[in-house]
């Protein structure tokens, strides 16, 4: 029995495939991979591991794993994110939104860095109450975001592939139409071939000059180059971003803009989530190595 744990994803100089092929690893024996969303598990990597039977990812999203190859090779993919991450990620989305509207991070910088006169001189924030919020992907996270923002008297609407039965929020099958009817867009859907760059220039122009974008889904849901352009040209008002197109890289333009709030993919990095996640990982791997079915969600494409 042999498992492979991918550690230090942010700091690792080697992509997984390169690591496996250059570091004298016994690739024939590896039965399990434990990874996080920052490490790609490509078709090439899966093909390199003939004994691989299970991939456990500490994330909800599976866009870093080649699911078709897993299906083809009979490799189970277990996500340990699931429902228990949703509340924390939703808190992060709402936190980012309030931060952008109230310019909390910029205000903090202002207080720290104000000059010798030590006077307060800061531009007005913007109220959250009453905002029209379009949620892209009203699943577990999107639903929690909606619940929280309802308490702020926001008007919720959403886009997804399917209208959700028993959900009364207005449904938009077209994301451009959703954007043109929203003050804020919150992105909570998975990254896949249909959703890559779902937020393009047309959507941002439809959101408009006072519009705010919040992304807790995946970076590549947004065409990041266009986002930089739209923010710099004032085509949208601000953005709160927990995820980026090419993590851990962040476009340097973002760091110079005080209408952008940045977070290092920390939507589920609470102590509670981390503890629960570790337990689920351990349970899934124990179940696998004792030949039981994992108790958590299994994705096989």
List interacting residues with ligand NAP (CB under 6 A).
60-61, 81, 85-86, 89, 137-142, 160-162, 188-192, 194-195, 216-218, 242-243, 265, 267-268
- The CB-of-26 to ligand NAP minimum distance in angstroms stands at 32
144 is catalytic: no
- The CB-of-219 to ligand NAP minimum distance in angstroms stands at 10
Nearest-angstrom CA–CA distance, 144 and 297: 19
Evaluate whether 245 touches 219 at the Cβ level (below 8 Å): yes
247 is catalytic: yes
Evaluate whether 142 touches 156 at the Cβ level (below 8 Å): no
Task: State whether residue 163 is helix, strand or coil.
Answer: coil
Nearer to ligand NAP, 188 or 281 (CB): 188
Nearer to ligand NAP, 76 or 160 (CB): 160
The burial of 142, by beta-carbon neighbours within 10 Å (0-12 exposed, 13-18 middle, 19 or more buried), is given as: buried
- Position with the least CB separation from ligand NAP: 139
- The CB-of-191 to ligand NAP minimum distance in angstroms stands at 6
Nearest-angstrom CA–CA distance, 43 and 49: 10
- The CB-of-166 to ligand NAP minimum distance in angstroms stands at 13
State the distance between the two ends of the chain, measured CA to CA, in whole angstroms: 26
Q: Which residues contact 246 (CB under 8 A, 6 or more apart)?
A: 219, 224
Nearer to ligand NAP, 137 or 238 (CB): 137
218 is catalytic: yes
Catalytic residue among 64, 140, 159, 218: 218
Catalytic residue set: 218, 247, 265
């Amino acid at each position: 029995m042999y498992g492979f744990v991918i550690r230090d994803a942010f700091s690792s100089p080697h992509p997984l495939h390169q690591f496996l092929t250059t570091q004298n690893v016994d690739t024939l024996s590896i039965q399990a991979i434990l990874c996080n969303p920052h490490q790609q598990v490509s078709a090439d990597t899966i093909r390199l591991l003939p004994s691989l039977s299970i991939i456990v990812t500490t994330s909800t999203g599976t866009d870093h794993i080649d699911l078709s190859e897993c299906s083809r090779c009979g490799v189970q993919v277990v996500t340990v994110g699931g429902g228990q991450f949703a509340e924390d990620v939703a808190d992060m989305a709402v936190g980012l939104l309030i931060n952008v509207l109230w310019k909390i991070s910029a205000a903090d910088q202002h207080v720290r860095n104000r000059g010798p006169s030590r006077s307060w001189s800061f531009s007005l924030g913007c109220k959250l109450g009453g905002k029209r919020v379009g949620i892209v992907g009203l699943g577990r996270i999107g639903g929690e975001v909606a619940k929280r923002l309802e308490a702020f008297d926001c008007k919720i609407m959403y886009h997804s592939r399917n209208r959700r039965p028993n959900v009364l929020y207005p449904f938009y099958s077209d994301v451009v139409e959703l954007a043109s009817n929203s003050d804020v867009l919150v992105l909570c859907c998975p990254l896949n071939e249909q959703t890559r760059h779902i937020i393009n220039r047309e959507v941002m122009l439809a959101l408009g000059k006072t519009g705010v974008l919040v992304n807790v889904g995946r970076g590549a849901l947004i065409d990041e180059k266009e986002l930089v352009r739209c923010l710099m040209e004032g085509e949208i008002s601000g953005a709160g971003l927990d995820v980026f197109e090419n993590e851990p890289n962040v476009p340097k333009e973002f760091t110079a803009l005080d209408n952008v709030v940045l977070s290092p993919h920390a939507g589920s990095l609470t102590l509670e989530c981390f503890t629960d996640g570790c337990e689920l990982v351990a349970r899934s791997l124990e179940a696998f190595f004792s030949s039981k079915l994992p108790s958590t969600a299994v994705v096989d494409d």
